[in-house]
């Protein structure tokens, strides 16, 4: 099993390539002359950011760590590092608070193909493991949530993403709702 371990990374970010509605999402870790890029779904980016915030809030609430200081320097808004070459596609992710080092440990494991789920795989899935401090985790979360929010606007009726030409809205009984920018009604 290849393990891509960054303790700590020089940079750890979520990013996307493409236009809203057709974006591909990635996590990237860089350090010690290495770059690891893993692909994942938009909902996984959102879940990771939300769970990071929840984890840090809980650690602070329990007195396990002081409230994280602001990260040094300006927020990382730079694009993903190139070349963007996917090392693997993420299946599962785990978060752990390491009380001994006061760090968050994020693990993203390679997706197992469906036909191998109930059979022993030929090789262990790859793993990206990143250890970051609370301030870096908060910065990651802010960037990831902004990335997710920068997608297509939601339909005001059903909450599903709107394309430029609208979408089939369940609240309109299957009629095509239009985005506000296209001059149509809500939907």
Q: What does the domain layout of the chain look like in residue ranges?
A: 3-151, 153-187
Over residues 15-32, the pLDDT tens digits come to 999 988 889 999 999 999
Ordered alpha helix ranges (H), 12-133: 42-61
The residue-averaged pLDDT of 64-83 equals 79
What's the CATH number for 3-151?
3.30.2450
Residue 120 backbone class (left: φ over 0; alpha: ψ -120 to 50; beta: rest): beta
The pLDDT assigned to 186 comes to: 41
Measured between alpha carbons, how far is 152 from 165 in angstroms, rounded to an integer?
A: 12
Q: Are 152 and 19 in contact (CB under 8 A)?
A: no
Q: Which of 12, 55, 24, 37 is nearest to 143 (CA)?
A: 12
Measured between alpha carbons, how far is 55 from 10 in angstroms, rounded to an integer?
A: 22
The pLDDT assigned to 21 comes to: 83
Between 62 and 4, the more confident residue is 4
Over residues 98-144, the pLDDT tens digits come to 999 999 999 999 998 876 556 665 678 999 999 999 999 999 999 99
Backbone angles phi, psi at 125, to 5 degrees: -65, 150
Contacts 24+ apart (CB under 8 A), 162-166: 162/187, 163/21
Mean pLDDT for the chain overall? 85
């Amino acid at each position: 099993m290849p393990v891509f371990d960054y303790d700590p990374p020089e940079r750890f970010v979520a990013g996307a390539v493409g236009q809203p509605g057709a974006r591909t999402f990635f996590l990237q870790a860089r350090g010690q002359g290495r770059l690891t890029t893993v692909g994942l779904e938009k909902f996984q980016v959102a879940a990771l950011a939300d769970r990071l915030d929840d984890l840090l809030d809980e650690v602070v609430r329990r007195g396990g760590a002081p409230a994280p200081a602001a990260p040094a320097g300006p927020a990382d808004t730079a694009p993903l590092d190139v070349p963007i070459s996917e090392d693997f596609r993420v299946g599962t992710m785990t978060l752990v608070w390491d009380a001994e080092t006061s760090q968050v440990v994020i693990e993203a494991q390679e997706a197992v193909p469906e036909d191998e789920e109930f059979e022993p795989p030929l090789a262990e899935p790859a793993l990206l493991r990143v250890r970051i401090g609370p301030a870096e985790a908060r910065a990651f979360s802010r960037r990831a949530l902004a990335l997710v929010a920068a997608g297509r606007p939601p339909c005001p009726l059903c909450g599903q993403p709107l394309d430029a030409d609208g979408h089939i809205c369940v609240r309109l009984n299957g009629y095509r709702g239009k985005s506000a920018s296209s001059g149509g009604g809500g939907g």
